[in-house]
Chains A and B, each alone.
Chain A
Amino acid sequence: MRGLVSRGGFWVAVLAVAALALPLFVSSSFTFDICIRVLLFAFVGVAWNLMGGYAKQLSLGHAAYFGLGAYTSTILLIRFGVSPWIGMLAGGVVAMLASLPIGALCFRLRGPYFAIATIATAQVLMLLFLKFRDFAWGAEGTTMPNLGDAPLMMQFEGKAPYYYVVLALLAIGLIITYRIERSWMGYYLVAVGEDEDAAEAIGVDALRIKRNIYLISAFLTALAGTFYVQYIYFIDPNTAFSFNVSVEAALVSIVGGIGTLWGPVVGTVLLEATSALLQSWLGGGHGGVQLTVYSLILIAVILCRPAGLIGLATDIYARVVRSGPPPAKEVPLDG
């Protein structure tokens, strides 16, 4: 077992070095942009996965927290001149506060009803911000003030710094997930996801554990929101509360491997790469063709590999490289 752990640690180290060194080899800003988006959505996926993956509370409304994070930091920046670094944390806190009433309402529902209720919360927030004209610029949105190279205000020349910021966010998300997964909380989350009533019978406060993980998930998602609007220099309700954000957060985890540490990362890399490649091959002229192919790939993955691609990867690894039985299941599926 110890051998496995250090082998895992070795691959993580290789991956980290590769990720850190990547900007040395990338010069095209188009490629940079794709890398940043991959890391950003992997991070949103990691945040979603804590709740949607481990505790199986399938939220389709994480755009609510993405948007709240984005708007909080932007309002603080433009109205009060507060650095987005502070605004980012403030956005996280606002998202946590918002998750309490939203959770209190939605956690009464289970399964698909929960998912539908969460969609509604994100949509309601989007409508509110569309109407808040004098407070938050309404439907036109606003652009960020261009401050040039101002690292303290989260504005940078060139894309490499943005890349490192979002890489750090993803690392934080993964470390938090890792720590939770290997503590009592990970077991409780999986137990609640498997059977809430049975979990209650052995002393798990299901509502409380769901509320707590929702707080963490909302906080992290809001950080991504702040980063995103700082990166694209623009905010409006349709960007910040985009339903696509909610869907993407869930999709990358589901495709990659729901309730696994690396699932959202694997899922984002594959989906974004597929989407970018399809766009460049098929994007010209026949609008929609690349979306059709993309959807077909999604359907194929979900039909053939409902547990996600990460399972496929470990199976192949076990069969080809080690030619033994599949490796032991990840904690907290085992002791």
Chain B
Amino acid sequence: MAEALVIRNISRRFGGLRAVQDVSFAVNEGETVALIGPNGAGKTTSFNLITGYYRPDAGSVLAFGREIVGLRPHDICAHGLARTFQVARPFGKMTVLANVMTGAFLRDRNLDVARAQARAAIEFVGLTAKEHTPARDLTTIDQRRLELARALATKPRLLLLDEVMAGLNPSEIDQAVALIGKLSQRGLTIVIVEHVMRAIMAVARHIVVLDHGQKIAEGNPKDVVANPDVIRAYLGTGYVHPAGAGENAC
């Protein structure tokens, strides 16, 4: 299977802090990979390095066979990588529809085409009823849905989701898991940063574990949650799988 994303030895430091150190991993096309680890492990920094918001001090990022280190974020998006932010960043004074249309303009500048594509993405995330609501009036959760719709409107091949489930209740998590499953079925490659272990076990086929900016483990979900290093660094010694009712070990 072809590789959608290959990350080789990327590093980034902020002053004395080594936020990401020599991290490598690969994501196959159509696969869903989870990036987990305690707060400050370098997950969001890795996202920012991949999507062009920070430039790595060293290392390379290949996306669909092309080196994307040094490209600006909008180029990377045009290359087929779309992301969401940990704290949703909607265009507050625009309506839901206008927000998502702005994403759709990347592939088609025609207003009617963009509107139709935006409506499809809005329907997919279940926001149709709030199409004309200004984004700033949405609840936090709806803002995340909006951000997902906006990212989808750019027609990505690879989707990077930064903690889309934080703060959701169990039934909302189920909905989100179902949504991600549907996206994956459509053939989308997904990289997800998440703390909700139940969701990760449900969606991810491969897990990469970061701690203090370094990769400490990688593998299929079952092996990773049994790995003693991962339990010590992140899950906590109380974590039991798969009975794991422990929603969130963090």
Residues on A facing B (Cβ under 8 Å): 182-184, 187-188, 190-191, 194-195, 197-206, 328-329, 331-335
Contact = CB atoms under 8 A, between A and B. Distances in A.
Contact of A334 (B75, B97, B114, B153): B97
B239 interface: no
B74 A191 contact: no
Given A334-B95, A335-B115, A206 B74 contact: yes
A184 B111 contact: yes
A50 B16 CA distance: 43
A198 B85 contact: yes
A205 B74 CA distance: 6
Contacts, number: 98
Contact of B98 (A183, A187, A204): A187
B93 interface: yes
A190 B105 CA distance: 13
Contact of B94 (A200, A202, A332): A332
Given A195-B89, A332-B94, A202 B72 contact: no
A160 B118 CA distance: 49
A184 B114 CA distance: 9
B213 interface: no
Contacts of A332: 94, 98
Nearest to B95: A334
A205 B114 CA distance: 18
A202 B106 contact: yes
Interface of B: 51-53, 72-75, 77-78, 82-83, 85, 89-95, 97-98, 101-103, 105-106, 109, 111, 114-115, 118, 131-132, 134, 150-151, 153-154
22 contacts: A184-B111, A187-B94, A187-B98, A187-B102, A188-B105, A191-B91, A194-B94, A201-B73, A201-B74, A202-B102, A202-B153, A203-B77, A203-B103, A203-B154, A205-B74, A205-B75, A329-B134, A333-B94, A333-B95, A333-B134, A334-B98, A335-B95
Given A199-B102, A335-B118, A204 B74 contact: yes
Contacts of B85: 198, 201
A202 B115 contact: no
Contacts of A204: 74, 102, 106
Contacts of B114: 184
A328 B52 CA distance: 37
A331 B93 CA distance: 11
Nearest to B90: A198
A333 B93 contact: yes
Contacts of A183: 109, 111
Among B73, B77, B102, B153, the most chain A Cβ lie within 10 Å of the Cβ of B102
A335 B103 contact: no
Among A190, A197, A199, A201, the most chain B Cβ lie within 10 Å of the Cβ of A201
B72 A334 contact: no
Contact of B83 (A199, A201, A205, A334): A201
A244 to B, nearest CB: 30
Given A194-B91, A203-B74, A335-B97, 5 more contacts: A190-B91, A194-B94, A198-B89, A201-B73, A203-B77
B156 to A, nearest CB: 10
Contact of A202 (B82, B131, B134): B82
A203 B98 contact: no
Contact of B77 (A187, A201, A331): A201
Nearest to A209: B74
A258 to B, nearest CB: 11
A194 B92 contact: yes
B115 A197 contact: no
Contact of A187 (B73, B89, B105, B131): B105
Given A202-B153, A206-B74, A334-B97, A197 B102 contact: no
